[in-house]
């Protein structure tokens, strides 16, 4: 069984004598499912002075893109500060909430995709810790979709947002601790130059090829629309549908595995996707009616994604193919999302997700899935080289 950073921290008494703030959510549990807020509150010699909740909140009861307010944690009585409010400034811990602290502790389960906002929250908190000369402690956890495969392009200058603040590949293959090391290192060493007093509490027993089910650790939903490890497997590609008017299955029991729109032909779509010969996945025509979000209450036709080989699956390629074939079926009804997305109004959401305008313009020009994904390969290969010095496992 893998021993996560939270267990190693508790065994070592690392935080004894410190006044700490904790960045955490429902995944911040030990193998007995005890929450870190409760564990730190009870830990001898540790003063838990503040809790910081990323998107979805400390206890995970807020939906995506919803503002979170300040409150008090009912179990511990410790003040809760939001790291997801009404503007970009709200994503960083405020100076007054950091005064008097000795350390910030980060313990949140990531899902292996750049668009998932928790590692962006971590990086912004690291910047704040550097300004205040606080120790920043990362309690490392597994990448649930493995740390070997890397896919997709990186974020280009001018396309930074909360779903991509640094030039990291869409499927990055990093743990939170490894990502923190990369962001913290000087630019001349391939990092992003944050330069805080960083300490990563590494795991024991984790190997890069491991999937979450092989770790022996419990799966706790990292967010309301990430119910299972299967969701995490497809998310690095299927999240791209957020940048379109296609339903990515929010408002169903299988978000990111079910997708479609009212005007699509599910059988034709499944046939076109099957003809792509994508590894590790099969497609079933289906219909569903979202209970909220896009196309709420409307019957959508589309497909369900069935993963047959998790290690062979290439989720970014999968997501690109879904967009290509949905648009090809009805270009007049397909559109890119133009509404404000993750605090950015002047760029299409798909450009923020993919890191540049290249994917969107390539789809509009009729390029194939293979051509679109090949354009990311050089960026991915360069990122793989750049991340190498920061790997812990």
The domain segmentation of the chain, as residue ranges, is 5-218, 229-381
Q: Give the pLDDT score at 281.
A: 98
Q: Give the pLDDT score at 62.
A: 58
What does DSSP say about strands 103-107 and 19-24: parallel, antiparallel, or unpaired? parallel
State the Cα torsion 355-360-366-371 to the nearest 10°: 0
What does DSSP say about strands 258-261 and 197-201: parallel, antiparallel, or unpaired? unpaired
Residue from 351, 350, 356 nearest 379 by CA: 356
Q: Give the pLDDT score at 71.
A: 83
CATH superfamily of 5-218: Uncharacterised protein PF07075, DUF1343 (3.40.50.12170)
Per residue in 274-330, pLDDT (tens digit) is 999 999 999 999 999 999 999 999 999 999 999 999 999 999 999 999 999 999 999
Quote the CA–CA distance of 292 and 55 in Å, as a whole number: 19
| pLDDT < 50 positions in the chain | none
Per CATH, is 229-381 categorized as 3.40.920.10? no
List CB contacts of 356: < 8 A, sequence separation 6 or more.
153, 155, 156, 159
Burial state string for 224-248 with b = 16 or more CB within 10 A and e = fewer than 16: bbbbebebbbbbbbbbbbbbbbbbb
Task: Yes or no: say if 358 and 364 are a contact pair by the CB < 8 Å rule.
Answer: no
Task: Yes or no: say if 242 and 250 are a contact pair by the CB < 8 Å rule.
Answer: no
Q: Give the pLDDT score at 56.
A: 81
Quote the CA–CA distance of 391 and 386 in Å, as a whole number: 10
Task: Yes or no: say if 318 and 279 are a contact pair by the CB < 8 Å rule.
Answer: no
Q: Give the pLDDT score at 85.
A: 87
pTM of the shown model: 0.96
The structure tokens listed for 72 are 């008090």
Average pLDDT over the chain, rounded to an integer:
96
> Is 229-381 in the same CATH topology as 5-218?
no
Q: Give the pLDDT score at 167.
A: 97
């Amino acid at each position: 069984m893998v021993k996560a950073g939270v267990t190693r921290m508790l065994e070592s008494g690392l935080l004894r004598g410190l006044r700490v703030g904790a960045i955490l959510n429902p995944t911040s549990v030990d193998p007995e499912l005890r929450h870190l807020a409760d564990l730190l509150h009870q830990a001898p010699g540790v003063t838990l002075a503040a809790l910081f909740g990323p998107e979805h909140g400390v206890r995970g009861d807020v939906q995506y893109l919803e503002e979170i307010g300040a409150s008090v944690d009912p179990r511990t009585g410790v003040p809760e500060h939001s790291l997801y409010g009404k503007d970009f400034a709200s994503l960083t811990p405020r100076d007054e909430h950091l005064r008097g602290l000795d350390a910030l502790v980060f313990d949140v389960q990531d899902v292996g995709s750049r668009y998932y906002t928790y590692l962006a929250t971590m990086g912004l908190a690291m910047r704040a810790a550097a300004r205040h000369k606080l120790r920043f402690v990362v309690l490392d956890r597994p990448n649930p979709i493995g740390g070997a495969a890397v896919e997709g392009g990186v974020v280009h200058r001018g396309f930074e947002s909360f779903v991509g603040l640094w030039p990291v590949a869409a499927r990055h293959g990093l743990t939170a601790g490894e990502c923190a090391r990369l962001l913290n290192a000087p630019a001349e060493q391939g990092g992003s130059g944050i330069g805080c007093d960083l300490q990563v509490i590494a795991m024991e027993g984790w190997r890069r090829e491991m999937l979450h089910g092989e770790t022996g650790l419990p799966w706790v939903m990292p967010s309301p629309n990430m119910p299972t490890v299967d969701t995490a497997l497809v998310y690095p590609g299927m999240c791209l549908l957020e940048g379109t008017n296609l339903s990515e299955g929010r408002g169903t029991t299988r978000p990111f595995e079910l997708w479609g729109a009212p005007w699509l032909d599910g059988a034709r779509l499944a046939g076109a996707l099957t003809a792509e010969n994508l590894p590790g996945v099969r497609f079933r025509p289906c219909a569903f009616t979202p209970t909220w979000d896009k196309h709420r209450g409307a019957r959508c036709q589309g497909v369900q994604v069935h993963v047959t080989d998790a290690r062979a699956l290439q989720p970014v390629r999968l997501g690109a193919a879904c967009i290509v074939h949905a648009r090809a079926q009805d270009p007049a009804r397909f559109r890119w999302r133009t509404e404000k997305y993750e605090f950015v109004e002047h760029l299409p959401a798909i450009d923020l997700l993919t890191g540049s305008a290249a994917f969107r313009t390539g789809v509009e020009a009729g390029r194939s899935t293979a051509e679109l994904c090949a354009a990311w390969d050089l960026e991915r290969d360069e990122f793989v080289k750049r991340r190498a010095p920061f790997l812990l496992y």
